[in-house]
Amino acid sequence: MLERIARDRVATLFLVTVAVLSLVGLAAPGFLSAGTATIIWSNGLVLMLVALGIFPVILTRNIDVSGGSILGLSAVVLGLALNDGFALPLALGFALGAGIFAGVVNGLLVAGLGVPSIVATLGTLGLFRGVMLITTGGEWIEELPEALKSLGAKSFGGLSIMGIITALVIVAVWWFLRSRRGRWVMVTGDNREAARHLGLPVRRIELLAFTWAGAMYALAGITFAAQIGFVPNQAGNGIELRAIAALVLGGISLLGGVGSVGGVVIGVIFFTSIDTSLVFLKIPAYWNDLIGGAMLLGVLLIDGRLRIALEARDRAARYRRGSQAEQKSRPLEDAA
């Protein structure tokens, strides 16, 4: 049992999260409640959507650091459209379209022109943020309509509409990765040359991964605007790195080909729980980054050491088995 948990990053992280939450519960009575759970879920929505976006990109052994900028751009498109009097569904469509367009730009740069993804998305990180600032002229977009804010407000059993959509997205990604096409995404990152050799459309797969990412950043942008009711210039700034950290924590390999949706979800929830706990413990918010970073390193280090130890043991066992099988065959050999 213990061993299975040690082998499974998702399970390890789940237990660590439960342990952290219980400790906080001891220190701050009233913390452990359904209410806190919905707070953590809703606080983590934006990060969750960004992480779900980057997830397939990382599975294909690429990286996308332009998420924060695309989030900001989509939010600005949404805000401007609403303030110009467009209906909410139409404005949402524009925002989603902007995210998808930006994702396609990233995808074409990487899959079409063969620019290394870190270079391409570092470029578009600046580019999209620039487009956003020029569009707004550096102004914040305020006084967003109530209709938008209601998307982020708790309505169904403590969940907001965006919260429910996010849950559906998680199920969809889980289902997709179990499909044959989902496997294609995994193996493209595992060994791109082999995937090409076996006739998989690797470039199309990469393009689609970046496009998906763009769409998710747009959803994150919509959620962001709905939750806080205005769009500041720095909307989404730096969130891509937090999302990547959450993914790594959830066992998604930056070398591609390894990772599960469970890992994404638990990674994000872990980060958000820490932030939320600090509020309950009345620790000043500027401690968040330090504690989050230390927790990340701690979990990764312990997990890495455990894994090395287990692998060494497995290897020894394999060879021991090998020599036992050999010894069993010895008498036969003597007879022959």
Partner 1 sequence: MEPVLAELDSVSKSYAGIPVLKRVNFSVRAGEIHALLGGNGAGKSTLMKILAGLVQASGGDVRIADAPLVPATPAQALAMGLYLVPQEAHIFPNQSVLENICIGLPKPAAAYRARVQELIAQIGVSLSPETKAATLEIADRQIVEILRGLVREAKVLILDEPTSALTPHEVQTLFARMQGLRAAGHGLVFISHKLHELRAVCDRITVLRDGNVVLSANMDQSTDSDILTAMSPGVTELEARGAGRQTSSEAVLALDALSGEGFVDISFDVRRGEVLGLTGVVGAGRTELAETLVGLRPRTCGDVMLEGQMFRANSPSDAVRQGIVHLSEDRQQYGLFLEAPLFWNASSFVYDRLPFFLRPGTERKRFARYREMLGIKCASPDQPAGSLSGGNQQKVLLAKCLVAEPKLLILDEPTRGVDVGARNDIYRIIEELAAQGTSVLLISSDFDEVVRLSDRIAVMAGGHLAGELPGGATTDEISQLAFEAREVEHA
Q: Name the minimum Å distance from CB 93 to partner 1.
A: 34
Whichever of 290 and 335 has its CB closer to partner 1, that residue is 335
Select from 233, 249, 273 the least CA-distant residue to 134: 233
Stretch that binds partner 1, among 49-57, 70-78, 266-274, 325-333 (CB under 8 A): 325-333
Q: Name the minimum Å distance from CB 318 to partner 1.
A: 8
Q: Name the minimum Å distance from CB 61 to partner 1.
A: 11
Say which residues have a Cβ less than 8 Å from residue 24's Cβ, sequence separation at least 6: 31, 277, 280, 281
Write out the binding residues for partner 1, residues 8-27 only, by CB under 8 A: none
- Contact (Cβ atoms closer than 8 angstroms) between residue 211 and residue 107: yes
Select from 65, 142, 151, 80 the least CA-distant residue to 110: 65
Select from 229, 175, 217 the least CA-distant residue to 70: 217
- Between the alpha carbon of residue 305 and those of residues 3, 98, 237, 249, 300, the distances in Å are 14, 43, 33, 15, 9
Q: Pattern 251-280, binding to partner 1, x per CB under 8 A? A: ------xx----------------------
Residue 154, phi-psi category: left (phi > 0), alpha (psi -120 to 50), beta (remainder): beta
Q: Name the minimum Å distance from CB 256 to partner 1.
A: 9
Token representation of residue 200: 């998989």
The alpha helices in the chain, defined as continuous H runs, are: 2-7, 9-27, 34-43, 45-59, 67-83, 88-107, 117-136, 146-152, 161-177, 180-190, 192-197, 202-228, 239-249, 261-280, 288-335
Q: What are phi and psi of 306, to 5 degrees?
A: -60, -45
How many of the chain's residues bind partner 1 (CB under 8 A)?
Answer: 29
Write out the binding residues for partner 1, residues 85-124 only, by CB under 8 A: none
Whichever of 290 and 336 has its CB closer to partner 1, that residue is 336
Whichever of 75 and 187 has its CB closer to partner 1, that residue is 187
Q: What are phi and psi of 281, to 5 degrees?
A: -80, 0
Residue 315 engages partner 1 in binding (rule: CB under 8 A): yes
Q: Pattern 176-195, binding to partner 1, x per CB under 8 A? A: ----x--xx-xx--xx-xxx
Q: Name the minimum Å distance from CB 202 to partner 1.
A: 10
Q: Name the minimum Å distance from CB 323 to partner 1.
A: 6
Whichever of 190 and 240 has its CB closer to partner 1, that residue is 190
Residue 7 engages partner 1 in binding (rule: CB under 8 A): no
Mapped onto helix, strand or coil, the DSSP state of residue 238 is coil
**Distance separating alpha carbons of residues 136 and 138, to the nearest angstrom:** 5
Residue 309 engages partner 1 in binding (rule: CB under 8 A): no
Residue 51 engages partner 1 in binding (rule: CB under 8 A): no
Whichever of 139 and 326 has its CB closer to partner 1, that residue is 326
Residue 333 engages partner 1 in binding (rule: CB under 8 A): yes
Stretch that binds partner 1, among 15-23, 138-146, 263-271, 322-330 (CB under 8 A): 322-330
- Indicate which single residue of 35, 116, 130, 322 sits in contact with partner 1 (rule: CB under 8 A): 322
Q: What are phi and psi of 156, to 5 degrees?
A: -105, 105
Residue 194, number of CB atoms within 10 A of its CB = 12
Write out the binding residues for partner 1, residues 190-229 only, by CB under 8 A: 190-191, 193-201
**Distance separating alpha carbons of residues 258 and 246, to the nearest angstrom:** 15
Whichever of 22 and 329 has its CB closer to partner 1, that residue is 329
Place of tokens 């007879």: 335
Binding stretches for partner 1 (CB under 8 A): 180, 183-184, 186-187, 190-191, 193-201, 257-258, 315-316, 319, 322-323, 325-326, 329, 332-333, 336
